[in-house]
Structure 1
Amino acid sequence: MSTTRLLGCECCGQVSSLPVTECERMRCPRCGHPLHECKPHSLQRTWAYLGASVLLYVPANALPIITTSNLFRAESHTIAGGIAELWHDDAWGLAVIVFIASIAVPLLKICSLALLAWTAQHRPRWRRLERARLFRIVETVGHWSMLDVYVVVLLAGIVQFGRVASVQPEPGLLAFAAVVVLTMMAARSFDPRLIWQEPEDDE
């Protein structure tokens, strides 16, 4: 008696019932995308992207992200320095928003994805429903992570008055954008089906 398995297509969402012996080489009958029980090398790629994002997180916060210049002086700003200036100028609400979007959210995304990857490897049955919800939150937040980069790029394009005033992006902005992209790729690489997969020794 042949055993069948249900596989969902990552591209179009079509669910197919296939014999177990053919699951490794089958394609979606609707769009032709390869079907996998889980994403190939999901955890390895997730850890690789997370490691790279951790390495770039330090220069993203240590290096200046923009340089503002006017007739009198030019000044470089890091993320933390910008937050401190906003707080000093009594713009507390804006300082909190920048802190959450630029420092807290990337760090929490890295920690959350590391937790998901570690538990998928070592504690597969631990709080599965909560981990699935956490993954959905990480995916949702990831779409807004580039907001700071867009703001700086818009400033650099708008505030250009020759020698009077200008805004220039700095290497820290590139490092920050790389952190955001890498965490998004890490979330994309992680297969949430691993949360519900039974340990191999129980099969």
Structure 2
Amino acid sequence: MSRAAVTGAQAGLISCETCKLLTRPLDAEHAGHCPRCGAALEVRRFQSLQRTWALLIAAAICYIPANLLPVMVSNTFATSDAETIMGGVVFLYTSGSWPLALIVLVASVMVPLGKLLALAYLLVSVQRGMAGRHHERARLFRIVTFIGRWSMLDVFVDTFTVALVQLQPLMSVLPGPGVLFFAAVVVLTMLAAETFDPRLIWDSATHMEKQDD
């Protein structure tokens, strides 16, 4: 029966979070600094789970008003209309711009919600010591960090619209309070992805291998 590969932690090695250099720490309590880039080395990120949970819960709370409050308020000479994210999606779809409606729906509703659910799944799986599917969970974490930069699309659209449509007193477009909450969701989920230590995923794999031995 083939043996599993030895992990870096089992070999007494540590990877630099900045330049990814694999090196040996000074001692168990003080890992020291990377000999190549000088960044501080960490065997595991301090209180990774607690910090990630705190940021994730805060993002989930902000997600509700981000979708309920208007993100854009358009004022004309006779009317004033406030649009939420879903209201904007419906308007774009009914006006014939369904590709743009689909982009806004995915980037502004589905992506933030998917990041919240994915990070919550990773946290629960690590805390419960879930066995198996380690490669899939590591790949899921990489996807979450990759798509995080596209989550601000709705805020960018609102910003460009506000900057372009300023024909006062005939017409003006102003950002709504929902934009602040939506931006908070994006920032908090990005910070949560940064504070989560993906090496914890493989710690549970190592623990299960020791139990099998």
Do residues 7 (structure 1) and 14 (structure 2) align?
yes
DSSP 3-state at the match of 1:196? helix
Matched, 1:199 2:207: yes
Deviation at 1:23, TM superposition (A): 5.2
Which one of the candidate residues 106, 110, 119 is aligned to 1:104?
Answer: 110
What do residues 122-172 of structure 1 show as CA deviations (whole Å, max 9, x unaligned)? 134330010011111111100111121112112111211121211100110
The aligned counterpart of 2:128 is 122
Give the 3-state SS of the residue equivalent to 2:199 in structure 1. helix
Matches of 1:172 and 1:103, distance apart in 2? 13
1:33-64 Cα deviation digits (max 9, x unpaired): 22111111111111011000010000000000
Out of 17, 21, 37, which is 2:24 matched to?
Answer: 17
Q: Which runs of 4+ in 1 moved over 6 A?
A: none
The root-mean-square deviation of aligned C-alpha atoms, in Å, is 1.9
SS in structure 2 at match of 1:185: helix
TM-score calculated relative to the size of structure 2: 0.87
SS of structure 1 residue aligned to 2:187: helix
User: C-alpha distance in 1, partners of 2:28/2:121?
Assistant: 33
After superposition, residues 28-107 of structure 1 pair within 5 angstroms as 28-107=34-113
* 1:164 correspondence with 2:164: no
State the 1:115 CA deviation: 0.4
Equivalent pairs counted in the alignment come to: 200
Identity percentage over the alignment?
Answer: 44
Do the aligned residues in 1 keep the contact of 2:108 with 2:153 (CA within 8 Å)?
no
Residues in 2 aligned to 1:143 and 1:92: alpha-carbon distance in whole angstroms: 23
Higher mean displacement: 30-39 or 42-51: 30-39
> Secondary structure in 1 aligned to 2:24?
strand
Unaligned regions of 5+ residues in structure 1, if any? none
